[in-house]
Amino acid sequence: MSTRGNQKKVNLQAVADEAGVSRATASLVLRESPLVSAETRKRVIAAIHTLGYIYNRGAANLRRQKTGTIGVVLSNIGSPFFSKLLLGIDEVLVDASIVALLVNSADNPERQMRQIWRLREHSVDGLIICPAAGSDETLLSGIEKTGLPYVQVLRHVSQTAGDYVGPDYAGGTDLAVTHLVRHGRKRIVFLGGYPVNSAACERLDGFQRALRRHRLESDLIIPTDLDNLSDFGALESMMASSSPPDAAICYNDMVALSFMGKLLSEGALPGRDFAVIGADNLPQAATSFPALTTIVTDPAGVGRNAARLLLDRIAEPRVSNMRILVSGQLMVRESCGGPLP
Amino acid sequence: MSTRGNQKKVNLQAVADEAGVSRATASLVLRESPLVSAETRKRVIAAIHTLGYIYNRGAANLRRQKTGTIGVVLSNIGSPFFSKLLLGIDEVLVDASIVALLVNSADNPERQMRQIWRLREHSVDGLIICPAAGSDETLLSGIEKTGLPYVQVLRHVSQTAGDYVGPDYAGGTDLAVTHLVRHGRKRIVFLGGYPVNSAACERLDGFQRALRRHRLESDLIIPTDLDNLSDFGALESMMASSSPPDAAICYNDMVALSFMGKLLSEGALPGRDFAVIGADNLPQAATSFPALTTIVTDPAGVGRNAARLLLDRIAEPRVSNMRILVSGQLMVRESCGGPLP
DNA sequence: CTGTTAGCGCTTTCAA
DNA sequence: TTGAAAGCGCTAACAG
């Protein structure tokens, strides 16, 4: 907040003076109240323009007890997935004239707590939060104690407590398995990260449920290190075994792309010798060689739904908890089911 | 901002009462003033805890004439590059106990103006802005008229006006050309987007300067559509000409990866038959086949520098404009210069 | 070291 | 339809 060089402070009083009305009347004009005559309104608006007046929400908030801001707490600001999520959130907020205070928990529960605290000091009207890895239910009970409306996104800390919006991970994985089976694959491996959060668990669940449904064995689960994409752990030995896998569902496209690179470098052609399915539909998935078949989640859709749900919660007290699963689809390309390159 | 069920409003006054001191003294404790005795401080802090008091920055801001918030206006929230930038910004802000209000101009100058207006209503202390495509100098003069400190990132709207922090695009491109020349490449094509913003222009500039320095022809510039990565425009015919190019510097890794896919599908091996260099060092660049040589820019570094510069500007009035170029490096992999797969 | 007083810029009764 | 007066929760001078 800067003071204009030599100019007088231009606040609502100044506008009122300029327009020859009282402060209260000017205030009504700002809030588009119908109680003020067209004539006065025009004078006030003119005054606003000539003075270059800027509405001070901070002051208004103090009085009205809400700020028109919400807090968004993400576990990893740096990820592309989150940026798409933000896009969806922003879309809804713009229409509601609300702005987002964005903070990063960096997947650290302690930092997460500090950040939420700071947001509360800024009197945000609500919270969209992707719980940091390692958070437990006390996160939710802590927030609830303060009465601040909140919505969890992408991960949930409890099976029952609190609102949640996320992609339908299980459904997406199921789609992928069914697709593979339809293309004659029988030994399907799940190349996923460790099930440390609800998202990873749901993907794994979906995988196992789908296998059972198709009466396939489900011993082919390989947790991989998501920070070291060139390490595929136990997969090496599995490939060399007497009944090697013939298809892989990967935790996400990054894993899938790396894995395809590995296959290529070993002389195998993904899509022909081995089916590969990723998840997220990154831009590169469409242009990789071979093009990657992938489970399309809709992060922006999740963002939009989360924002809308939060606005509802702010508008009226929670009745019961909502769980919104945003469904995805399968984008079929060369690495499984599409025409070979 | 929600009212606690049946509980009394707990404000500074309540804390003061509980601790048996005056409001002013309690306020001093909050701001860690050394003017207050250890004994009273302890009592006040105890009161804060028993009451569950939360500092109301909004009210404090009204008084102090600053908010401890800055606005970040990005031209495309959805891009991974921007998420890394945010990461760097956040890193600096956390230490300064400042939070960022994030808004999206979606590369639309008009929307950009509305968003800035909204940020001003929230009394942000400063602005970090990546100008929307199509913005002109009036953007800066508009902001300057209000006296709000600001820093441009990634793109600048004027050669001279205003502070700017961005990657050293020209330097990075120069590195790439030199590297190609060292590896015997002579017909280097620049596969870049249209030079619609300062970033694209600088890359192109760097390319042309480097070619001149190495006394190479510079007629091989192909603007491509960054939204349609499978279309390489005039490149097709160029490849079929009598003296086809033997290397490409791509606008970014996305373009480079797509291009490598195209080469592969035509039976050419990137790194041997044709050198390819990208930019950004996306995670997939390390694991693609072949692994991609790329110009590493440091978006988080840009973010950190921008945030620091802005905090400086807020702390003291601008003396003269700063232009900070965050230098990058070349990550050499298989697609040019590294060992072949 | 602590308390008193007077606002910051706005909204909201309640009268006129 | 408009105006006067009383705060929202905090900080900054100043006096004790």
pLDDT digits (tens, 9 = 90+) for B4-53: 334 567 899 999 999 999 999 999 999 888 888 888 999 999 999 999 99
The pLDDT of residue B310 is 96
- Residue B235 binned pLDDT confidence (cut-offs 50, 70, 90): confident
pLDDT at position B7: 55
Pick A81 or B69 by higher pLDDT. Answer: B69
Q: Which residue is nearest to nucleotide C10 (CA to C1')?
A: A60
Return mean pLDDT, chain B. 90
Q: Which tokens belong to A80?
A: 């592309």
Q: Is the peptide bond before B290 cis (omega within 30 degrees of 0)?
A: yes
Residue B270's DSSP bridge partners are B274
Nearest C-alpha in A relative to B106: A87
Prior bond to A290 cis, omega within 30?
yes
DSSP B253-269: HHHHHHHHHHHHHTT--
Measure A35 CA to C15 C1' (Å): 16
What is the reported pTM?
Answer: 0.86
For B296-312, the pLDDT digits (tens) are 999 999 999 999 999 99
CA-to-C1' span, A243 to C12 (A): 77
| Domain chopping of chain A, boundaries | 7-55, 67-166+299-326, 169-298+330-336
Q: Residues at the strand C interface (CB under 7 A)?
A: A 9, 11-13, 23-24, 27-28, 30-31, 55-56, 59-60, 62-64; B 20-25, 28, 35-37, 39-40, 59, 62-63, 65
> Longest C-alpha distance within chain B, in Å?
91
Over range B267-272, report the average pLDDT: 94
Spatial distance between the Cα atoms of B60 and A62, rounded to a whole number of angstroms: 10
Supply the CATH classification number for the domain B67-166+299-326: 3.40.50.2300
Percent of chain B with pLDDT over 90: 69
DSSP assignment, residue A86?
A: H
pLDDT at A8: 66
Position A7 scores a pLDDT of: 55
Q: Flag whether residue B269 sits within 8 Å of chain A, measured between CB atoms.
A: no
Contact between B278 and B250 under an 8 Å Cβ cutoff? The reply is: yes
Question: Over chain A (341 residues), what is each successive 10-residue block's mean pLDDT?
Answer: 52 92 92 88 92 93 91 89 91 92 94 94 96 94 92 94 95 96 94 86 93 88 82 84 93 91 91 95 84 95 97 84 95 92 71
Is A123:B1 a contact under the CB 8 Å cutoff?
Answer: yes
Q: Of B81, B122, B150, which is closest to residue B312 (Cα–Cα)?
A: B150
State chain A's maximal CA–CA distance in angstroms: 91
- Please report the pLDDT score of residue A149 as a whole number: 94
CA of residue B307 to C1' of nucleotide D12, angstroms: 29
In this predicted model, what pLDDT tens digit does every residue of B80-103 receive, in sequence order? 788 889 999 999 999 998 999 999
CB-nearest to A80 from B80, B287, B289 is B80
Which distant-in-sequence residues (6+ apart) come within 8 Å of B81 by Cβ?
B280, B299
How many residue pairs bridge chain A and chain B with CB atoms within 8 Å of each other? 187
**Are the C-beta atoms of A156 and A198 separated by less than 8 Å?**
yes
The bridge status of strand A329-331 relative to strand B150-153 is unpaired
Q: Report residue B238 as tokens.
A: 């160029």
- Which of B57, B81, B121 best probes binding to A when mutated, by most A CB atoms within 10 angstroms? B121
Lay out the sheet containing B323-326: strands in order across.
Answer: A323-326, A164-167, A150-153, A127-129, A69-74, A99-104, B99-104, B69-74, B127-129, B150-153, B164-167, B323-326
Angle of helix A169-182 relative to helix A198-213, nearest 10 degrees, comes to 30
Tokens standing for B124? 């942000």
Min Cα distance B320 → chain A (Å) is 18
Instruction: Provide the chain B residues 48-67 that lie in CB contact (below 8 A) with chain A.
Output: 52, 54-59, 61-62, 65-67
Selecting from 2.60.40.10, 3.90.1300.10, 2.60.120.330, 1.10.260.40, what CATH number does the domain A7-55 have?
1.10.260.40
Residues 81-100 of A with CB under 8 A from B: 82-84, 86-87, 90, 94, 97, 99-100
- Contacts A80 to B, Cβ<8 Å: 79-80, 83
Chain A residues touching residue B287 (CB < 8 angstroms):
229-230, 254, 257-258, 261
The pLDDT assigned to B8 comes to 65
Query: B169-298+330-336: same fold as B7-55?
Result: no
Distance CA A46, CA A34 (A): 18
A74 closest CA partner among A19, A14, A128: A128
Q: Which member of B2, B84, B260 has the closest CB to residue A289?
A: B260
pLDDT digits (tens, 9 = 90+) for B191-213: 987 888 898 999 999 999 999 99
* Nucleotide nearest B34, from its CA to each C1': C1
Question: Which residues are bridge partners to A295 per DSSP?
Answer: A279, A330
Q: How many CA atoms lie within 13 A of A40 on its CB side?
A: 20
Q: What is the rounded distance in angstroms from the CA atom of residue A15 to the CA atom of residue A5?
A: 19
Closest nt by CA–C1' to A63: D8
- The residues near B186 (Cβ < 8 Å, ≥ 6 apart) are B216, B246
The pLDDT value given to residue B2? 38
In the beta sheet, which residues pair with residue A294? A278, A331
Buried b (16+ CB within 10 A) or exposed e, B205-225: bbbbebbeebebeeebebbbe
Which option is the CATH number for A169-298+330-336: 3.40.50.2300, 3.40.50.300, 3.40.50.620, 3.40.1360.10? 3.40.50.2300
Interface mutation target, options A2, A70, A146, chain B, most CBs of B under 10 Å: A2
